[in-house]
Amino acid sequence: MKPSKRIAAITGNGSDGWGVFYKARSMMAQGIHITELTIGEHDIRTDPVILEAMYDAAKGGATGYALITGIPELRAEVATRITAQTGVETTSKNVMITPGGQAGLFAAHMAACDPGDIGVFIDPYYATYPTTLRAASVTPFAISAHAENAFCPTYGDLNTAPAGAKSLLVNSPNNPTGTIYDDKTMNDIARFVRERDMWLVSDEVYDTQIWEGRHTSFRAMEGMAERTMVVGSLSKSHAMTGSRLGWVIAPEHMIEMINDLATNTTYGVAGFVQHAGLCALRLGPEFEAQIAAPFRRRRDIALNILRDFQDIGAVPPKGAMYMMLDLRKTGLSGEEFALRLLDERHIAVMPGESFGQAAAGHIRVALTIADDAFAIAFREVCKFAQDLIDG
């Protein structure tokens, strides 16, 4: 028996670009010490206060079926948070709690697109974007952004999308590049989706990790709230990656559609996890800043080290927990460089090609180990690249 064509085609009948990561994990399983700068996983665990709230909720009986849209208290807290951040009046009816941001991305596209519709996204992209679209029976179409423009798409870039495309997926602050879209880029994107009468799916899971400038949600822009679905999550903002707790913010009728989907797929999120999320959000912006602070420090550490390596290019990240390095002067692809770095220096990074072809010849370095260890490893990555450039 064979699997369905739908499932077999999710990865595009090819590699998902994560071979270096899997090889690093295999080497670690063999007892080889690897300095891992791959995935966006905090080097701290979830705060004990949040875990205690989860435990207390479970002991108190929140282990049965929870409301599929989310418990009322959490939906109200998320709505209050979004209203405060964006200035756009948001109520519980605009909030759907999901099992993490990834489930939110899938649900948003299932609600926005019919099978065979074209869904547009920006390259470089988070690795699951094209596969999420395929999983939703949407035809993915990538629009390349370029390092020379800080990986921000221009209006001209956007208009390479095919006529009739139904949705546009964007991510700012951006994974993998750390770019935050400036006002011109935001206006170009808003103009584009309004002219094309498209849905905008805005992945804003890094909205608490801002190093330069500011983050603006597309829902706050004129004429955009009714055509925008925002995906959020507690994974990055509260170091709760394993709790799988996120949300979709959307017009009320779209939340009703996403609720129908969840009724027949995830059937909601465990109640005790939602109570932990409620506790996390009530810890306030100061707590979120505390979680974000190590990545700001490591970003600054990396930029200081790069001053010693003039042949290595980088677009300084304005947000998120990553640094994208341009290593094209080595003559290697990002994947070739990452494999050699892993084999010869036992340092694991992600090839730029894992995130699309616009980042070919780049690598993504996650700022996710302790400051001192990060400084040593990052300098070693740069030295390895410089030695290759010097021949």
Look at residue 272 in the predicted model and tell me its pLDDT.
Answer: 98
Are 166 and 112 within 8 A, CB to CB?
yes
Residue range(s) defining the domain that contains residue 328: 5-45+292-390
Q: Rounded to whole angstroms, how far apart are CA atoms 176 and 322? A: 6
30 and 106 inside one domain? no
Location of structure tokens 């700022």: 367
pLDDT band at 2 (very low <50, low <70, confident <90, very high): confident
Residue 142: beta bridge partners? Answer: 121
Average pLDDT over residues 148-154: 96
152 and 277 inside one domain? yes
pLDDT band at 391 (very low <50, low <70, confident <90, very high): confident
CA neighbor of 232 nearest in space, from 120, 119, 128, 78? 78
225 and 328 inside one domain? no
323 and 264 inside one domain? no
Q: Rounded to whole angstroms, how far apart are CA atoms 65 and 62? A: 8
For the beta carbon of residue 340, count every other beta carbon within 10 angstroms.
14
Average pLDDT over residues 161-177: 98
Look at residue 14 in the predicted model and tell me its pLDDT.
Answer: 55
Q: Rounded to whole angstroms, how far apart are CA atoms 351 and 363? A: 4
**Identity (one letter) of the amino acid at 300?**
D
**In the chain, what percentage of residues exceed pLDDT 70?**
99
In three-state secondary structure terms, 171 is strand
Per-residue burial over 352-389, b if 16 or more Cβ lie within 10 Å, else e, is bbbbbebbbbbbbbbbbbeeeebbebbbebbebbbebe
For the beta carbon of residue 345, count every other beta carbon within 10 angstroms.
15
- Number of domains, the chain: 2
338 and 264 inside one domain? no
272 and 211 inside one domain? yes
Whether the ω angle into residue 124 lies within 30 degrees of 0, i.e. cis, is yes
Given the DSSP bridges, would you call strands 139-144 and 95-98 parallel, antiparallel or unpaired? unpaired
65 and 34 inside one domain? no
Look at residue 3 in the predicted model and tell me its pLDDT.
Answer: 87
Look at residue 7 in the predicted model and tell me its pLDDT.
Answer: 87
Q: Give the max Cα distance, the chain.
A: 64
Which of 251, 270, 285 marks a domain boundary? 285
At 37-70, the pLDDT tens digits run 999 999 999 999 999 999 999 999 999 999 999 9
35 and 81 inside one domain? no
Which of 285, 316, 351 marks a domain boundary? 285
Average pLDDT over residues 116-126: 97
9: exposed, middle or buried (C-beta count within 10 Å: 0-12, 13-18, 19+)? middle
Which of 285, 311, 339 marks a domain boundary? 285
For the beta carbon of residue 202, count every other beta carbon within 10 angstroms.
23
At 343-355, the pLDDT tens digits run 999 999 999 999 9
Mean pLDDT, rounded, of the chain: 96
Determine the straight-line distance between the first and last CA of the chain, rounded to whole angstroms. 52
**Residue 190, domain CATH:** 3.40.640.10
37 and 90 inside one domain? no
Look at residue 16 in the predicted model and tell me its pLDDT.
Answer: 55
CA neighbor of 348 nearest in space, from 33, 89, 80, 111? 33
For the beta carbon of residue 2, count every other beta carbon within 10 angstroms.
6
Q: What is the pTM of this model?
A: 0.95
Are 320 and 206 within 8 A, CB to CB?
yes
374 and 228 inside one domain? no
In three-state secondary structure terms, 118 is strand
At 242-280, the pLDDT tens digits run 999 999 999 999 999 999 999 999 999 999 999 999 999
85 and 196 inside one domain? yes
302 and 162 inside one domain? no
Are 244 and 234 within 8 A, CB to CB?
no
